[in-house]
């Protein structure tokens, strides 16, 4: 009966069904958005007087942990998330610096690198970058960015920070394993870094470490560095596996009452599927890295063709991990951007269920496409066709997500707060990157552009334009929750616009370079006559890249200064429905105190016709004013 009168899912209600259609009602006070804000706690009390909504953390909870247990060897998922944040932002800076070295060399080959004379002789000669150093910069840039910056930023930081808070759990399922996960990631990073200081320099066979280049030190002159690369990734693998099975268990078993699967925020869905991918993909990389390590150290011959080994085997193992990995690097971003876009548009996310299904579909399809990295490897061409078709298929769920984002902002009353700007940039940049992906998925085209700058353009559109913009969005969005202060919105906007412009100036021309035949990972483009004519493009890219890099210091400054000086953040600065916004900023140890939050609906009830407010938090039993007429939930 109830089913029959149900007017249809709220998630997709159109604007005319919604009295406020994305407009915030002026209700006193000004939020950091510069918009009127609600007094959340008053609202909750008038609605029901229920203690599930307002939490009194003032008494009964004395945090008597020592400094070390609280901030260093902490088992609190929030602290671990922030630790990951600091670690991976540092590696992001390092990776960026290495990119500047590369861009200097590509833009101005043969000119001394500024500050280059300070580097050891094995890196530069008279300040000019040596080919060996160039190779190691390329390799380490990719490695640090993928494994130590983007992946921990998305999975380590937001997986940790958001999952328990958003599902209403006091912490992760295994807090001590969670702590171990961070404290294995740190030595892994340091070990990778140590490569720079040993004889022969760091690994230099590319972030993909193709064998036999990586397996035989006589080919590159790098021995210890490559060993460190393998060891570091094996250790990091342990960290990732500890993290991922923790996340999965937490999401399955620790959701608050009422938080059923289809009320989970999309960010949690995405992080959940990502954790499954990490769990199943990382061990394959660990296995491959172990085999490579044995080839280098104890003389096995897995990848050495002279002794019957198979270099192609490395590629298969690496990309069998590697393609799920690229989805690990984008799915959490997609999820968090979905949350932010719904918030910024003040509308429910369009097509919630199809979003979830698309995430799951990507999670499955991602396993069957790895061969698209190997069209040119000498793999059987019939196999190539299969991989081409599966790759084209995977564009479908990605497109579904894109159209749903567009559907969400359609007719919304958009609040252009900084996270929203980054989220919108994410969508647009991901579309460009996704389209070039579809190009490359077609093997006839890929044969032409494989291993050129077209690939570099593609991967930066999805990884910088996609993942990193999502990270900027997420960091600014959850910063108030993490640190209890707002980031400066003005400098946030300046940073956003400059980044967007310089980013496109840097990476868009790379498509053109790639089509012109400019190879990836070359030391000096001007040694080829056909590339000399596009050298001005390289110069333009390099200058844009320097500006892009410089712009990031605005973000760093904003991040650090706001930590100390930022405006104090209210409990719910973005007027969001998620559970994390119903507790103090920052939330206390144990998150929800003694109260188990109870969840009544999905997280996207913006402009709900059932509320006289503009939004409807997930744990509010009844919309304002109607509460008294309805039974209280059990245990309340």
Residues that bind Cu ion (CB under 5 A): 323
Q: For residue 441, state whether it binds ligand HEM (rule: CB under 6 A).
A: yes
Site string for another protein, 207-246 (x = CB under 8 A): ----------------------------------x--xxx
Among 30, 117, 122, 253, binds another protein (CB under 8 A): 253
Cα–Cα distances in Å, from 121 out to 39, 95, 135, 226? 63, 21, 15, 20
Give the CA distances from residue 507 to residues 97, 297, 304, in Å, rounded to whole numbers and listed in that order.
17, 39, 36
Which residues 125-144 are close enough to bind ligand HEM by CB under 6 A? none
Q: What distance lies between CA 271 and its chain's CA centroid?
A: 10
**Residue 621: contacted member of another protein, Cu ion, ligand HEM, none (CB under 5 to 8 Å, by partner type):** another protein
Instruction: Give the up-direction half-sphere exposure of residue 559: CA atoms within 13 A in the CB hemisphere.
Output: 19
Which position among 100, 137, 145, 317 is part of the footprint of another protein (CB under 8 A)? 317
| Placement of tokens 């540092």 in the chain | 90
d(CA 214, CA 494): 42
Q: Is 254 in the site for another protein (CB under 8 A)?
A: yes
429 lies in the site for ligand HEM, by CB under 6 A: no
Helices within 111-223 (DSSP H only): 131-143, 151, 160-167, 175-194, 217-220
Inter-residue contact 410 to 350 (CB < 8 Å): yes
Residue 432 near ligand HEM by CB under 6 A: no
Give the residue with the Cβ less far from another protein, 351 or 514: 351
Closest CA to 325 of 509, 462, 476: 462
How many CB atoms are located within 10 Å of the residue 348 CB? 24
Q: Interface with another protein by CB under 8 A: which range of 67-75, 549-557, 587-595, 600-608?
A: 600-608
Query: Is 209 near ligand HEM (CB under 6 A)?
Result: no
Query: In the numeric block, which tokens belong to residue 280?
Result: 């199943």
By CB under 6 A, tell whether 192 contacts ligand HEM.
no
Q: How many chain residues are in contact with ligand HEM, going by CB under 6 A? A: 24
The secondary structure element, H or E, covering residue 343 is helix 331-345
Q: Is the dihedral of CA 564, 570, 571, 573 positive or negative?
A: negative
- x/- letters, 462..481, toward ligand HEM (CB under 6 A): xx--xx--------------
Among 284, 441, 457, 522, binds another protein (CB under 8 A): 284
68 binds, among Cu ion, ligand HEM, another protein, none (CB under 5 to 8 A by kind): none
Q: What angle do CA 368, 374, 378 make, to 5 degrees?
A: 125
Residue 372 near ligand HEM by CB under 6 A: yes
Query: Which partner in another protein, Cu ion, ligand HEM, none is near 281 (CB below 5 to 8 A by kind)?
Result: another protein
Give helix 266-297 / helix 331-345 axis angle, nearest 10°.
Answer: 160
**440 forms part of the interface with ligand HEM (CB under 6 A):** yes
Site for ligand HEM in 328-367 (CB under 6 A): 329-330
Closest CA to 454 of 374, 384, 515, 532: 515
Question: Least distance in Å: CB of 512 to another protein?
Answer: 39
Question: What's the CA gap between 1 and 411, in Å, rounded?
Answer: 33
Per the listing, tokens 């564009």 go with 395
* Residue placing its CB nearer to Cu ion in the complex, 321 or 600: 321
Q: Is 379 helix (H, G, I), strand (E, B) or coil?
A: coil
When binding is defined by CB under 8 A, the residue of 45, 90, 249, 377 that contacts another protein is: 249
Q: Would you give the distance in Å from CA 625 to the centre of its chain?
A: 40
Query: Among residues 269 and 606, whose Cβ is nearest to ligand HEM?
Result: 269
DSSP 9: -
Measured CA distances, 498 to 276, 432, 464, 494, 536 (Å): 36, 19, 14, 6, 22
Residue 233 in contact with ligand HEM, rule: CB under 6 A: no
The least distance separating Cu ion from the CB of residue 391, rounded to whole angstroms, comes to 7
**Judged by CB under 8 A, does residue 318 bind another protein?**
no
Six-digit token pair at 232? 């570091």
Coil, helix or strand for 443? helix
Terminal CA-CA length for the chain: 28
* Interface with ligand HEM (CB under 6 A), residue from 177, 395, 539, 626: 395
Angle at alpha carbon of residue 31, lines to 27 and 37, rounded to 5°: 20
Report how far residue 133's alpha carbon sits from residue 115's, in angstroms, rounded to the nearest whole number.
14
Decide: is 591 part of the binding site for another protein (CB under 8 A).
no
Instruction: With contacts defined by CB under 8 A, name the span among 274-282, 396-404, 422-430, 581-589 that binds another protein.
Output: 274-282
User: CB–CB of 210/311 below 8 Å?
Assistant: yes
Least distance to another protein, CB of residue 6, Å: 5
Q: Show the tokens assigned to 589.
A: 């140890």
398 contacts ligand HEM (rule: CB under 6 A): yes
x-or-dash string of contact with ligand HEM, 559-598, rule CB under 6 A: ----------------------------------------
**Dihedral class, residue 34 (left if φ above 0, else alpha if ψ from -120 to 50, else beta):** left
Angle at 499 between CA 506 and CA 355, to 5 degrees: 100
Q: In angstroms, what is the minimal distance from the CB of 337 to another protein? A: 23
* Other Cβ atoms within 10 Å of 206 Cβ, number: 16
Q: Which does 395 bind (CB under 5 to 8 A by kind): another protein, ligand HEM, Cu ion, none?
A: ligand HEM
Work out how close the CB of 7 gets to another protein at its nearest, in angstroms, rounded to a whole number. Answer: 6
Print the binding letters for residues 428-457 with another protein: x by CB under 8 A, - otherwise: ------------------------------
Cα–Cα distance between 236 and 87 in angstroms, integer? 13
- Rounded Cα distance between 244 and 181, Å, is 9
Give me the residue label for tokens 């390099």.
Answer: 542
Q: 86, 190, 307, 406: which one contacts another protein (CB under 8 A)?
A: 307
Q: Which of 459, 482, 545, 622 binds ligand HEM (CB under 6 A)?
A: 459
Binding mask 65-104 for another protein (x = CB under 8 A): ----------------------------------------
The rounded radius of gyration (Å) of the Cα atoms in the chain is 25
Rank residues 372 and 601 by Cβ distance to ligand HEM and give the closer one: 372
What residues numbered 168-197 form the site for another protein, per CB under 8 A? 173-174
User: Footprint of ligand HEM on this chain (CB under 6 A)?
Assistant: 208, 326, 329-330, 372-373, 391, 394-395, 398, 434, 437-438, 440-441, 446, 450, 455, 458-459, 462-463, 466-467
User: Footprint of another protein on this chain (CB under 8 A)?
Assistant: 2-3, 5-10, 173-174, 241, 244-246, 248-249, 252-260, 263, 279-284, 286-288, 290-291, 294, 298-302, 307-310, 313, 316-317, 598-602, 608, 610, 616, 621, 623, 630-634
């Amino acid at each position: 009966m109830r089913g029959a009168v149900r007017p249809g899912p709220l998630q997709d209600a159109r604007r005319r069904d919604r009295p406020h259609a994305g407009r915030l009602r002026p209700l006193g006070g000004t939020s950091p958005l510069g918009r009127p804000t609600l007094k959340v706690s008053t609202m909750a009390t008038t609605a029901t007087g229920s203690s599930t909504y307002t939490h009194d953390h003032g008494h009964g909870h004395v945090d008597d942990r020592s400094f070390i247990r609280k901030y260093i060897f902490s088992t609190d998922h929030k602290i671990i998330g922030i630790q990951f944040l600091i670690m991976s932002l540092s590696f992001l800076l390092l990776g960026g610096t290495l990119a500047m070295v590369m861009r200097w060399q590509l833009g101005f080959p043969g000119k001394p690198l500024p500050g280059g004379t300070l580097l050891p002789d094995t890196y530069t000669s008279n300040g000019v970058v040596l080919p060996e150093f160039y190779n190691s910069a390329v390799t380490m840039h990719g490695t640090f960015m993928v494994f130590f910056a983007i992946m921990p930023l998305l999975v380590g930081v937001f997986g940790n920070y958001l999952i328990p808070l958003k599902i209403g759990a006091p912490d992760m399922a295994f807090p001590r394993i969670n702590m171990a996960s961070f404290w294995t990631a740190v030595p892994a990073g340091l070990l990778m870094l140590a490569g720079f200081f040993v004889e022969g320099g760091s690994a230099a066979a590319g972030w993909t470490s193709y064998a036999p280049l990586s397996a035989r030190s006589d080919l590159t002159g790098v021995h210890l560095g490559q060993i460190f690369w393998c060891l570091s990734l094996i250790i990091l693998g342990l960290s990732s596996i500890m993290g991922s099975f923790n996340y999965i268990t937490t999401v399955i078993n620790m959701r608050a009452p009422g938080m059923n699967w289809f009320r989970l925020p999309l960010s949690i869905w995405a992080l959940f599927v990502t954790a499954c991918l990490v769990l199943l993909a990382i061990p394959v990389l660990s296995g491959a890295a172990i085999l490579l390590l044995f080839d280098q150290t104890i003389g096995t011959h897995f990848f050495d063709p002279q002794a019957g080994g198979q270099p192609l085997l490395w590629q298969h193992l690496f990309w069998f991990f590697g393609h799920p990995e690229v989805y690990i690097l984008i799915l959490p971003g997609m999820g968090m951007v979905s949350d932010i876009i719904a918030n910024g548009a003040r509308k429910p996310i369009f097509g919630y269920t199809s979003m979830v299904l698309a995430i799951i579909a990507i999670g499955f399809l991602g396993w069957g496409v790895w061969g698209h990295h190997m069209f040119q490897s000498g793999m059987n061409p019939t196999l190539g066709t299969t991989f081409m078709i599966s790759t084209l298929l995977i564009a479908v769920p990605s497109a579904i997500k894109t159209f749903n984002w567009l559907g969400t902002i359609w007719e919304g009353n958009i609040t252009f707060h900084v996270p929203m700007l980054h989220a919108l940039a994410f969508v647009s940049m991901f579309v460009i990157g996704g389209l070039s992906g579809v190009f490359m998925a077609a093997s006839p085209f890929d044969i032409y552009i494989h291993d050129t700058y077209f690939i570099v353009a593609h991967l930066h559109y999805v990884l910088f334009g996609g993942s990193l913009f999502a990270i900027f969005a997420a960091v600014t969005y959850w910063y108030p929750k993490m640190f209890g202060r707002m980031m400066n919105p003005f400098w946030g906007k300046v940073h956003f616009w400059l980044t967007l412009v310089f980013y496109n100036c840097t990476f868009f021309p790379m498509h053109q370079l790639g089509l012109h035949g400019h190879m990836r990972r070359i030391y000096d483009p001007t040694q080829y006559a056909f590339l000399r004519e596009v050298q001005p493009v390289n110069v333009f890219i390099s200058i844009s890249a320097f500006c892009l890099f410089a712009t990031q210091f605005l973000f760093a400054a904003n991040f650090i200064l706001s930590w100390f000086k930022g405006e104090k953040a209210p409990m719910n600065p973005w007027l969001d429905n998620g559970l994390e916004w119903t507790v103090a900023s920052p939330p206390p140890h144990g998150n929800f105190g003694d109260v188990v939050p109870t969840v009544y609906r999905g997280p996207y009830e913006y402009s709900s016709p059932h509320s006289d407010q503009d939004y409807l938090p997930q744990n509010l039993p009844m919309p304002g004013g109607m509460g008294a007429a309805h039974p209280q939930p059990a245990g309340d």
